[in-house]
Amino acid sequence: MKQKLFTISVNRSLMFALVAMLAMGACKSKKKAAQQPAPPAPVEQVEETTPPPAPVASAEEVAVEKLENYFNSVAAAGNASIANQTIQETLAMFSNQETPVLIVIHEENGIKDYDEPTTISKYLDYLKDTKKNLNYISDIRMDANGKVSELELRRK
């Protein structure tokens, strides 16, 4: 029985020693972790970059945007006087009231078929009467004064 009691106490002692060593080892690692200096905070490097310049729209692009807005305004005008006023503003962008307007009805292999040629004043009256803008500007030609000298339209 003494041998059994001795074995149990040795086992208990070894177990106690093992737990104590693990606890001490854990404490040391906590101390080391607490004593280590924190890594330096990352330094933000602010690079001053200039944004790329905004793309400058060409005179043709500006004219196309304005004309599309005018065409939509004429077609959506509530009454004839508003439409006529918008038509007069639109005509100021053209070299004259007889500026040709070509409407592409078909294109195959680079060959375009046009509807009967018309003038800008007739086309604007057409928009006013039908109250529908079914075309978009596919090509525009400007003269030396910055006025529209020819307009090519396509179906939307």
Please report the pLDDT score of residue 55 as a whole number. Answer: 75
Domain count, the chain: 1
The one-digit pLDDT tens for each residue of the chain (156 residues) are 555 545 566 667 767 766 666 666 655 555 555 566 666 666 666 666 776 776 777 889 999 999 999 999 999 999 999 999 999 999 999 999 999 999 999 999 999 999 999 999 999 999 999 999 999 999 999 999 999 999 999 988
Task: Return the CATH number at 139.
Answer: 3.10.450
Please report the pLDDT score of residue 58 as a whole number. Answer: 87
Q: Is residue 27 part of a domain?
A: no
Integer CA distances (angstroms), 9 to 16, 18, 22, 107, 127, in order: 10, 14, 20, 103, 108
Please report the pLDDT score of residue 44 as a whole number. Answer: 66
Q: Is residue 47 part of a domain?
A: no
Please report the pLDDT score of residue 24 as a whole number. Answer: 66
Q: Is residue 35 part of a domain?
A: no
Q: Is residue 22 part of a domain?
A: no
**pTM for this one?**
0.65
Q: Which domain holds residue 134?
A: 59-155
Q: Is residue 149 part of a domain?
A: yes
